[in-house]
Structure 1
Amino acid sequence: MGTDGRGRRRSDFSPPRTVRLRADDGTRRTAPTGDAHTAEGERLQKVLAHAGLGSRRACEVLIGQGRVTVDGAVVTEQGVRVDTARQVIHVDGRRLQLDAATVTLALNKPRKVVSAMSDPQGRRDLTEFVADSAERLYHVGRLDYETEGLLLLTNDGELAHRLTHPSFEMTKTYVCRFDCPGAFPRGLLKDLRDGVELEDGPAAADSARLIAHDGREAVVEVVLHEGRNRIVRRMFASQGHELTALVRTRIGPVQLGDLAPGATRPVVGRELGTLMAQVGL
């Protein structure tokens, strides 16, 4: 215990009376501690450390550098306490998901599995891959029956809504394989980038590049932000190429990596924060 300037006793661990905040225009302002501080909450540096951002000392540095916001206000003073159940915290623009009840998983969907939690035709569906999850999870978007690769599952309704909303233009990366005897077709990659005509309107890849071609088959990587039904297969078919294999390898910042077919892994930490930031959360 110590005393303040008027001789009154105070705890050495009392939070500061004010928090320095940065306004949207980049200027700093000073606001009452109550703007960010919650007396019954956890110390901000402890929350950041538990979220995997480093030691408490390292997290104190993050705070001091003005890289942490609480409910949109930059906090630069140490000792602020926060309520993780109701306050929103960002670090370097990435939101921290601190609700333990919220789960987001990456699944490597195998071929011949429908992107649904049940199928009236009795085909394999997604329920077998989340049978051990205590939460009720929903798939974000779809992959067709023959396509494998990255699919996100979550119980965060707002995240799922934004990931599928076309206004956020979340990019998706696909590896496409097709028979290609002889020379690689001149102009195919340019045509995919410039746009091709489909029955429901034109479609263009954000990027398209050749990965491999051995004179028998070719492998092309395509990145696009549209999500129309079977759009990648239809784009190649419009140019006379039926895909023999299609794998989605990335959704925004989330990568498939070496995840085995049928396996899942949690999307957490910076990866989840970056994903949420890209859809404005």
Structure 2
Amino acid sequence: MADRSRSSSSTGSPAPKKRRRSAFTPPRTVRLRDDQGERVRSGGDTVQAEDGERLQKVLARAGFGSRRACEALISSGRVTVDGQVVVTQGVRVDPARQVVHVDGRRLQLDEGKTTVVLHKPRKVVSAMSDPEGRRDLSEFAGRYEQRLYHVGRLDYETEGLLLLTNDGELAHRLTHPSFEIAKTYVCRFDAPGGPPRSLVRTLREGVDLEDGPARADKARVLAQDGREAVVEVTLHEGRNRIVRRMFASQGFELTRLVRTRIGPVLLGELAPGEMREVTDKELGTLMAEVGL
């Protein structure tokens, strides 16, 4: 039997060269140590912040219960730092620089970032200023010390949920076409005798608009009294006035349109003009939906 160890030399083919590691290629595994010097199990390039805060303290401040409860979260492998599972107690992190997830939900630990919900009233322009002198969003954003910007738009006559934030990356992803977040609207319109039974089905199957077809993910009748009807629709698209145009294609002009939800964020009981900060749970889920 031929000696396999000599087979490559007998054929005259050169041995493959060993690939050199680029100076810019990080090592596959960086082994962390906690503040007692014990090794932390990790599988990537997470770097412990020597001058940071203990992870369990950061989680407790973010609302995940007592320090003991947060230690249990870590021990069970439900917490990641910069994409790597951390199971050892005492790891220190920099909340302003490092990314922490619990059960896949991102925690916004940068106290300089603010995201709020506004119930935009009717007859308010979705801009920070208006050359025509109409009411604009600066009236509401000015209530916060941080300089906030609106995420997306609602037309002049439409009211409801509008997000304001100073988190530029979150705002960019929420408005980027590749991240189509579901939005829910409540639509009121005149419907003598009640809306046709086919309306909801037609909205779900799709209608043809001048700039292409549009389809609601969900649609249902909330109320009708023989004179008016209220229909709730959910869709991912964000084309200009798309909800109004979908109903107009079926012969109905909306008399009131309210956006009640963006992804996991609800308008709730906010009255027109009122604002609130998004909850940690809402923000974490929203960030997860756009890959943050």
Per the TM superposition, whether the score is higher than 0.5 is yes
* 1:189 correspondence with 2:210: no
| Matched residues, number | 259
Is the 2:35–2:92 contact (alpha carbons within 8 Å) kept by the matching residues of 1? no
* 1:144 correspondence with 2:155: yes
Matches within 5 A, 1:241-256: 241-256=252-267
Distance apart, 1:130 and its partner CA = 1.7
SS of corresponding position for 2:285 = helix
Distance apart, 1:14 and its partner CA = 3.5
Is the 1:15–1:80 contact (alpha carbons within 8 Å) kept by the matching residues of 2? no
Aligned to 2:76: 65
Aligned to 1:44: 55
Q: Which has the higher strand share?
A: 1
* 1:20 correspondence with 2:50: no
Inter-partner Cα distance in structure 2 for 1:114 and 1:239: 27
Distance apart, 1:271 and its partner CA = 1.1
Aligned to 2:238: 227
Aligned to 2:112: 101
Distance apart, 1:260 and its partner CA = 1.4
Aligned to 1:25: none
Match of 2:226 among 211, 215, 219: 215
Matches within 5 A, 1:128-207: 128-207=139-218
Is the 1:19–1:36 contact (alpha carbons within 8 Å) kept by the matching residues of 2? no
- The unaligned stretches of length 5 or more in structure 2 are 1-33
Distance apart, 1:164 and its partner CA = 0.6
Is the 1:116–1:139 contact (alpha carbons within 8 Å) kept by the matching residues of 2? yes
Aligned to 1:118: 129
Code of the aligned partner of 2:287? M
Larger radius of gyration: 2
* 1:89 correspondence with 2:89: no
Post-superposition Cα deviations, 1:79-127, rounded to whole Å, max 9, x if no partner, equal 1111112111011111111111111010000000010000011100001
Aligned to 1:24: none
Distance apart, 1:268 and its partner CA = 3.3
Inter-partner Cα distance in structure 1 for 2:54 and 2:37: 12
Distance apart, 1:65 and its partner CA = 1.0
Give identity over the alignment, percent: 73
Distance apart, 1:36 and its partner CA = 4.2
Matches within 5 A, 1:232-271: 232-271=243-282
